[in-house]
Amino acid sequence: MTVPGAIDVIARLAKTLPDMVVGAGTVLDSDTALRCLDAGAKFITSPGLVMEVVESAVKKGVAVLPGALTPSEVIAAWKAGADFVKIFPCAPVGGPVYIRSLKVPLPQVRLIATGGVNPQTAASFIIEGASAIGIGGELMPQDALRHRNQGWVNELARRYLGLVKSARAQRTGKST
């Protein structure tokens, strides 16, 4: 919701690209969550634990990925029905080691590491127990956006997918 006209963008993408999974981020209240869902969002996420947003998404049967940082917030999000809990900002509070610290007592909670994930740390987050990673500026460099260089963004996404696949194989002991 930090992008001007974000709900209109969601509606346009959902209508013109029906096979794309379009979501809404930085959703901070239930009214905005419902407007995003009406526009076609298939998932809702927020930077922190906003219970009214989680409750709205759960009621509508839509995936919800609230942000959390402390173990208490993670547990509250999980108990409220979050599909995944987005640990944000993860890197400044310990990065991959923090994910491992959360997974030891909470192995049943699916965590997404966000906030400071980059090519050097992506695999470590997965190896330490993150179910997924969230990448912002590292996936969409300003130069690539400014020059509308889709190939650059696609290549970065391909590299991240390779890192995640390799890390998952390493975590499960399978060869790549």
Summarised one tens digit per residue, pLDDT across range 82-121 is 999 999 999 999 999 999 999 999 999 999 999 999 889 9
Summarised one tens digit per residue, pLDDT across range 29-70 is 999 999 999 999 999 999 999 999 999 999 999 999 999 999
Domains in the chain, please, with CATH?
1-73 (no CATH), 89-176 (3.20.20.70)
Give the pLDDT score at 111. 98
pTM for the model stands at 0.89
State the SS3 of the chain.
CCCCCHHHHHHHHHHHCCCCCCEECCCCCHHHHHHHHHHCCCEEECCCCCHHHHHHHHHHCCEEECEECCHHHHHHHHHCCCCCEEECCCHHHCCHHHHHHHHCCCCCCCEEEECCCCCCCHHHHHHCCCCEEECCCCCCCHHHHHCCCHHHHHHHHHHHHHHHHHHHHHHHCCCC
Question: What six digits make up the tokens of 141?
Answer: 């460099």
Q: How confident is the model at residue 6 (pLDDT cuts 50, 70, 90)?
A: very high
